[in-house]
Amino acid sequence: MRIAKVIGSVTLARPHASYVGSRLRLAIPMSFAELVDGTEPTGDSLVVWDELGAGLGDLILIAEGPEASQPFRPAEKAVDAYCAALLDDVSLDPKAVAMVNREESSGKKTKKK
């Protein structure tokens, strides 16, 4: 899962019947540095299935890939990214931020889980 910022909506001229009752949002996943600095995201945008009512500028938690369609099983939906949560606040542990900054400055990469 990743944190992303909603930057817009996607409108379909002829949506599939399985898309009724929700919206498609345009969001940009945020990097660790963007979260720490509070800067605007600069990466590539993606289309996110939203049933929770995310608005423009909201931070959301997204699931991507095959996991994005799991909440709809056994029904099938053509979804590559799903809004799993609306985030009110994101707090970062200062010790974790310092550790990542030290590793980045020394050239080591942090392990991703």
Q: Where are the beta strands (DSSP E) in the chain?
A: 2-10, 23-29, 46-50, 59-64, 81-87
Statement: residue 111 has pLDDT above 80: no
What class has domain 2-106? mainly beta
What residues does each domain of the chain span?
A: 2-106
Tell how strand 23-29 and strand 46-50 pair up. Answer: antiparallel
CB 4: neighbour CB atoms within 10 A? 27
Q: What is the pLDDT of residues 20-74, one digit of tens each?
A: 778 999 999 999 889 888 899 999 999 999 989 999 999 999 988 877 766 666 6
User: Is the distance from CB of 54 to CB of 83 less than 8 angstroms?
Assistant: yes
Indicate the DSSP class of residue 47.
E
Predicted confidence at residue 101, as pLDDT, reads: 78
Is the model more confident about 90 or about 67? Answer: 90
User: Is the distance from CB of 59 to CB of 36 less than 8 angstroms?
Assistant: no
Q: Which two tokens stand for residue 46?
A: 């993606």
Q: Tell me what the mean pLDDT of segment 92-109 comes to.
A: 79
The confidence band for 108, taking pLDDT boundaries of 50, 70 and 90, is: low
- pTM assigned to the model: 0.78
DSSP of 64-76: EGGGGGGGGTTS-
Q: Which of 27-31, 87-91, 106-110 shows the lowest mean pLDDT across its residues?
A: 106-110
